[in-house]
Chains A and B, each alone.
Chain A
């Protein structure tokens, strides 16, 4: 069974640009969540999607957005990039059921974004 795939793995952008990151979950998983990891703040929850619906969003500005498609693949977008957005962005999928949102997390390798 293929794992969680994130693309691209590495990217460099300049301030003011926007970026789109992609996450393909494990087949059959309907829950996809995104996380930002920085040396200063550690791991922080960005948002979680279940069956194309965003169930929750972390404490991030509106420049951070995402969506989930009918095949459960998910994208996140960051507009008007700032230097502080440089981070490792991790995606995880989960077999969590709709009636109970908790499930084991399966992480991708991450997309490392550098903003210059």
Chain B
């Protein structure tokens, strides 16, 4: 069993829909990262969080430390949001030197 599990693996939605991507992990963590990867390979860091909730534009990330679960929400989704979204965690007492990645969620937004 992977330390980091994401769901769903693939998600197709209509433009404007509210999107939720989930990440569950099995170890205590110091931080959780949400990353976005567009076709062609470039990866952009969306959020780094260790508690609570963060918001940036139409994106919201939440984390529940007790339940070992995080969600990434996209409001008013747009075709440009089509990408692979990847969750990564640093175990407790470690930082970026020990990151474990989920397998990613491929999101497709249809106009």
User: A23 in the interface, Cβ–Cβ < 8 Å?
Assistant: no
Q: Which of B33, B40, B103 contacts A105 (CB 8 A)?
A: B33
User: A64 in the interface, Cβ–Cβ < 8 Å?
Assistant: no
Contact with B along A79-97 (1 / 0, CB 8 A): 0000000001010101010
B43 touching A102, Cβ below 8 Å: no
B96 touching A43, Cβ below 8 Å: no
B103 CB contacts on chain A under 8 angstroms: 42
Contact with B along A38-64 (1 / 0, CB 8 A): 000011110010100001100000000
User: B67 in the interface, Cβ–Cβ < 8 Å?
Assistant: no
* Residues in B70-111 with C-beta less than 8 Å from chain A: 86, 88, 90, 94-104
User: B31 in the interface, Cβ–Cβ < 8 Å?
Assistant: yes
Once bound together, how far apart are the Cα atoms of A108 and B43, in whole Å? 7
* Residues in B20-50 with C-beta less than 8 Å from chain A: 30-31, 33, 35, 40-45, 48, 50
A107 touching B100, Cβ below 8 Å: no
A102 touching B44, Cβ below 8 Å: no
**Shortest beta-carbon distance from B55 to chain A in Å:** 16
B41 touching A103, Cβ below 8 Å: no
B41 touching A33, Cβ below 8 Å: no
Number of A-B contacts (CB under 8 A): 71
- Say whether chain A's binding surface is mostly helix, strand, loop, or mixed: strand
A56 CB contacts on chain B under 8 angstroms: 94, 97-98
With contacts A43-B86, A45-B100 taken as known, whether A102 is within 8 angstroms of B45 at the C-beta atoms is no
With contacts A42-B104, A102-B30, A110-B42 taken as known, whether A33 is within 8 angstroms of B94 at the C-beta atoms is no
A44 touching B96, Cβ below 8 Å: no
A96 touching B96, Cβ below 8 Å: yes
Once bound together, how far apart are the Cα atoms of A102 and B49, in whole Å? 10
A43 CB contacts on chain B under 8 angstroms: 86, 88, 101, 104
User: A67 in the interface, Cβ–Cβ < 8 Å?
Assistant: no
With contacts A31-B96, A48-B96, A112-B41 taken as known, whether A104 is within 8 angstroms of B101 at the C-beta atoms is no
